[in-house]
Amino acid sequence: MNTPTVIHIVGARPQFIKLSPVAEAFKRCGIPYKVVHTGQHYDHAMSDVHFDTLGIDPPDYHLGVGSSSHAKQTARMLEAVEEILAAEKPCLVLVYGDTNSTLAGALCAVKLGIPVGHVEAGVRSFDRNMPEEVNRVVTDHVAAYHFCPTENAVALLEKEGITGIFTGDVMYDALNRFSRVHISHPYAPPFVLTTVHRAENTDQRERFLGIWKALEKLSQDIPVIFPVHPRTKNLFPDLLIRSAKSGLRVIEPVSYLAMLAMIRDASCVLTDSGGVQKEAFLLKTPCVTVRDTTEWPETIDAGANVLVEPDPAKIHQAVMEMTGRTGFTAGNPFGDGNASDHITRFIREHIV
């Protein structure tokens, strides 16, 4: 009789980060597992390099799905993942976060009668225009087990008739693990670190240009470092030319460890990334989020993060006001730093 196996399905940089401490916990607990990498992030700087950086074993399956429309990308994943799950017959499929890989993995598993565990369940921005919001809501409503990063996520699931399990946030686990490693970067403070890649900001040219004008204005007051996501670079190929004229420092994506060091040392972070909002909070760096909503209201409540619309003057004002701010509300809503162990223990006791 084969030993029950858990399949982890990942496909994007934040999911590799979340997988890292969970995979380590599985090894410590002796739970057999395999990893499926959908290839949603196909650029080397956003994909395979992180398996090396994070110390994750190479994936057992690499689907190489690549970029496309949401429908085509998800359809390709569904077809490929179904074959793997049908052959492997795992006792559980674990999916992470809110990407198309999350959705495809969850749908495939539930259609085959395989229970799904959702790591980072219950998170809500309440903006159904965000593809990520649709992915996380659907995944939660087909999953059997819901591993929640905050008590707020548990409460939000309860309102939807779903019982969540508060484990804490596995990204906090990863940050704790790697922040103990000596990490550095070549940029001297003070500087503002910015990342922009969400569809709501990059699919609407005028919205993105509002952010860009704010970055140009900010760079006159404080150095601005902008690691450009491949998606953003593909949509705005003239970025490097513009940055040379504006004084912005546009760079290629950096490793997870380098990014942590840059967030840690930044005077302020300007982002539209959910993960970066959390990392800035945990590293005690003030954050300005160019979004209409956030899935991490805990960071707003703590005074560590503010939302701002893509208006150059408003962004500039928000960043200058937040730069160097200290004295966030005490307490950490993201658990005790052992979320991976809590998840693994639950799986060992109730599933495997």
Looking up tokens 């730093």 gives 337
Cβ contact 114:125 at 8 Å: no
| Helix or strand run (H / E) with residue 84 | helix 70-88
Token pair 């993201």 is found at: 334
Query: In this structure, how many other beta carbons lie within 10 angstroms of the beta carbon of residue 48?
Result: 18
Side-chain half-sphere exposure of 100, counting CA atoms within 13 A: 19
User: Rounded to whole angstroms, what are the CA distances from 242 to 213, 290, 309?
Assistant: 11, 21, 22
Burial of 34 (0-12, 13-18, 19+ CB in 10 A): middle
Which residues belong to the active site? 197
Q: CA 344 to CA 347: how far, in whole Å?
A: 5
For residue 18, the cross-strand partners are none
Find the helix or strand (DSSP H, E) in which 271 lies. Answer: strand 268-271
Q: 21 Cβ partners below 8 Å, 6+ apart?
A: 170, 173, 174, 177, 339, 340
- CB 16 within 8 Å of CB 253: no
Q: Nearest to residue 319, comparing CAs of 283, 272, 286?
A: 286
